[in-house]
Structure 1
Amino acid sequence: MNSGIENPAEGLVGHETVTRQETDSMGSISIPADCYYGAQTARSLIHFSIGSERMPLEVIRALALLKKAAALVNRELGVLSGEKAGWIAAAADEILAGRFDHEFPLRVWQTGSGTQSNMNCNEVIAGRANELAGRERGGKVPIHPNDDVNRSQSSNDAFPSAMHLAVALALHQKFHPELDKMVDCLRRRSQEFAGIIKIGRTHLMDAVPLTLGQEFGGYVGQLELTLADLRDRMAPLLGLAIGGTAVGTGLNAPAGFGERVSAKLAEWTGLPFFSAPNKFAALASHEPLLSVSSSLRNLAASLLKLANDIRWMGSGPRCGLAELLLPENEPGSSIMPGKVNPTQSEALAMVCIQVMGADAAVGFAGSQGNFELNVFKPMIVFNVLNSIRLLGDSCRFFRTYCLEGLRPNLEVLRSEVERSLMLVTALTPRLGYDRSAKIAQQAYREHKTIREVCVSDGHLSAQEFDALVRPEEMVGDGWQG
């Protein structure tokens, strides 16, 4: 479908209307004169001006890193001159430094193989390399986007390799460190709250006591479990499709090309990337990314419980639970003066729900491989990277503006323990279940404490009750941070 943009120069805000002509196998097309990209990028801008979601820069930089490695390996294998490889590598380095982010305007919603984004990268590298070689910006001489930048590759192996590179690096460099800080913060708060007794709740109803530290220790355990799972699922991501070319056979790639490119990427990134042993699977399916997405969903489930528990415990300040005093970051209402809301919990909860929905989309997209190629690749990598970014950002803000500053409301916590009906559980070994249940029911009806009913009705003396019902001895060990 034509978007109505007849000239790419008219569809890009901020570009001069001066154009140059570029050609591809479809013929000639006008390109904004100051752009490095070429004809295939321009055609994609016309035919796929869908939505506002651009191909993530993580994917673009992964492609640039891949193109640099490919050029150097092609030089080593004697299929590309040292001079051309040098220009390509220099242009790729500039992309990696963020110099040309504006040169990658293509939408996620494009060809399902990612071919147009692969060619966008090829064209920008070639356009800049030709300028470095003393020629005009853009064009195909002396560096051709297909013959030189894309040599020994196909979009079908380059793009999935970039998908794995982008996701693995996003997890390793930013996401895991951020989530580790979250766990460390929760562990520290758990230790700080170790001596604070509170009433537990099951089914949203009063239960026996535990410590606030034990409750926070539960959050630590949840996150540690899901983060360990996520780290385990990184291993298959390190296998790269590069070297499989169009359908997995490696046609037009020199022997050892995929192994050498993977080795360079491993050296540069510090992650043990390797050439995927089954290139047919690497092109046609995306189980490693589906696995990461499902682990992100599991993490979102753990974080959603944390966010909801915190906002429940912080509810009030006078007509809710009010067990926690949450940081007051900003006004909570445009009509009710003085109102403050648990906004960090709400933001984190929304992100978690978004991630769960994205995982459903990724799972369905991953099931749509046909024969030798899955053609839902841009959608898969966009959603996985977006989930990583959203979870990482929200955890950083939730930790900084909520967890670090929240305080226990000791007066409320102490009062709840004293008034709890479930303290009667400590009496069942002495009085039995049925008798203890009647005491709890009477205390509830008469708005009394368990102690008051026991003493007034002669079930136990005050001294006997105090000896049997000791909340600090009811909490056990549970978890030690």
Structure 2
Amino acid sequence: MKTRTEHDLIGYKEVPADAYYGIQTLRAVENFDICGVKLSAYPNFIKGLAMVKWAAAKANNDLNLLTDDVTEAITKACEELIDGKHHDHFPVDMIQGGAGTSTNMNANEVIANRALEILGYQKGEYEHCHPNNHINLSQSTNDAYPTAIKIALMYMNENLVAGLKSLITAFRAKGEEFKDVLKMGRTQLQDAVPMTLGQEFEAWAVNLEEEIQRLNENAKLFLEVNMGATAIGTGINSEPGYSDKCVAHLNEITKLPIVLAGNLIEATPDTGSYVMYSSAVKRLAVKLSKICNDLRLLSSGPRCGLNEINLPKMQPGSSIMPGKVNPVIPEVVNQIAYKVIGNDLTVTFAAEAGQLELNVMEPVLVRAIFESMEMLENGMTTLKERCIEGITANVEHCKEMVLNSIGIVTAVNPTLGYEASSRIAKRALAENRSVYDLILEEGLLTKEKLDEILSPERMIKPQKFVEA
């Protein structure tokens, strides 16, 4: 393998000749074989890094700190990264020591070497375009890295919300499909009062719909950045006016309404926006898990469970029990939720671990949020396409359970009164008979009056009382 020789403050090292990354990236690869997930796994992150470096280059050019030809070459290199090129040259592990310096230098080296090619030079001829002197000009990892993260999270939030909206649409479609399927509602796993299966699915849709606003509101916190803070927020090694120019270019490049933080020393170690957003992601996961618990219960059986709905059969369910089919799609979404809940705790601890003017734990914090969002997006797509869209209802079984339930006595309670209704319920349980038959047997209501009270349309929404 052909190599080129590069050096840093520690010494010299051979770098693959065709690699856009350089010596500092190579050291990070050797030092941090941790989670096995590389920067290249998250295209939006690389896109965010490229946008930050592009905006910085343009701001430096405005201040006559970079020549036009170098700025144009950097711009071209960044545009290529944004278009999805060269992502395989980001081999650094997501979890790393150094507060993200390895990530920042990976981006600096790739952009520098690609810019060198555009300028007509060879990779590694850094005297013409240097990773630190040119690509990282007026920056520090401590402002470039978190700004890139926030841009990535804004774009990832758009994808997450789109997946959520698609899932909500699927639930709502089933709500319409099952709007006339009468079934028994339950509280504390006990028979409660009748409802329709459509109402149940529509309620899930509304429950999830609330999360769109929560996610979007919390994502807006990422629009405040600290570009120009450099090391700790004092702006050392940046020129007056750089911050405003850089943020203006970021707005133009990202098409996002990014603003500069009011106090850069405060903003540099602050990770509160991550904590807030992670909590919204966790809230969505908790709701999805609860709904999947419900789906598993309602489809339980088929002979010895509730068996009100049928989930699509995805795969054989047992290596020993012939004919068994398990609710594998809701199960995997449950497991995603547990991972998201754990990741949120990681975010909390990492945010708390910040010390003085910097939080060095951002890499694990970011990895946790990225993983949660990616798993949830994939999980919601899987739930929609491989479960919700294929659900069918056992209509007659649902209706039969309503008619045989003690719970329908609640519907006659306003007419018969609590004492008579309690007596009927007690007899029904003791004698294993239906509430319907006992009411007629005791002559408490005529058949016509009882049928009117127990008609599906009366039992699933508010109605005026019917007198005996």
Who is 1:348 aligned against?
333
- Aligned-pair distance for 1:280? 1.9
Please tell me the residue identity of whatever aligns with 1:44: A
- Aligned-pair distance for 1:142? 0.7
2:206 counterpart of 1:213:
no
2:166 counterpart of 1:171:
no
Structure 1 stretch displaced more, 425-434 or 444-453: 425-434
Q: Deviations over 1:383-429 (max 9, x none)?
A: 11111111111111111111111111101111111111011112223
Who is 1:465 aligned against?
450
- Aligned-pair distance for 1:313? 1.1
Q: Which residue of 9, 12, 23 maps to 1:39?
A: 23
Q: Which residue of 388, 413, 421 maps to 1:403?
A: 388
2:50 counterpart of 1:68:
no
Q: Is the 8 A contact 1:227 1:299 kept in 2?
A: no
1:24-423 to structure 2, matched below 5 A, reads 24-55=8-39, 56-172=42-158, 174-423=159-408
Structure 2 Cα separation of the partners of residues 101 and 90 of structure 1 = 15
Q: Deviations over 1:143-182 (max 9, x none)?
A: 000000000100010001011011011112x111111111
Q: Is the 8 A contact 1:74 1:151 kept in 2?
A: yes
Structure 2 Cα separation of the partners of residues 337 and 238 of structure 1 = 55
Structure 1 stretch displaced more, 49-58 or 88-97: 49-58
Specify the SS of the correspondent of 1:233. Answer: helix
Structure 2 Cα separation of the partners of residues 315 and 270 of structure 1 = 48
Q: Is the 8 A contact 1:22 1:139 kept in 2?
A: no
Structure 1 Cα separation of the partners of residues 344 and 68 of structure 2 = 44
Specify the SS of the correspondent of 2:240. Answer: coil
Q: Is the 8 A contact 1:315 1:322 kept in 2?
A: yes
2:435 counterpart of 1:426:
no
Q: Deviations over 1:412-453 (max 9, x none)?
A: 111111111011112223333233223212212222111122
Please tell me the residue identity of whatever aligns with 1:138: G
- Aligned-pair distance for 1:461? 4.1
The normalised TM-score by structure 2 is 0.94
Specify the SS of the correspondent of 1:404. Answer: helix
Structure 1 Cα separation of the partners of residues 98 and 84 of structure 2 = 26
Q: Deviations over 1:191-235 (max 9, x none)?
A: 232222211000011100112222122212211222211111122
Q: Deviations over 1:33-64 (max 9, x none)?
A: 22121121122122222231223443222111
Structure 2 Cα separation of the partners of residues 189 and 257 of structure 1 = 54
2:7 counterpart of 1:23:
yes
Structure 2 Cα separation of the partners of residues 88 and 378 of structure 1 = 26
Structure 1 stretch displaced more, 62-71 or 335-344: 335-344
- Aligned-pair distance for 1:23? 0.6
The normalised TM-score by structure 1 is 0.92
Specify the SS of the correspondent of 1:302. Answer: helix
Structure 2 Cα separation of the partners of residues 337 and 325 of structure 1 = 18
Q: Is the 8 A contact 1:451 1:462 kept in 2?
A: no
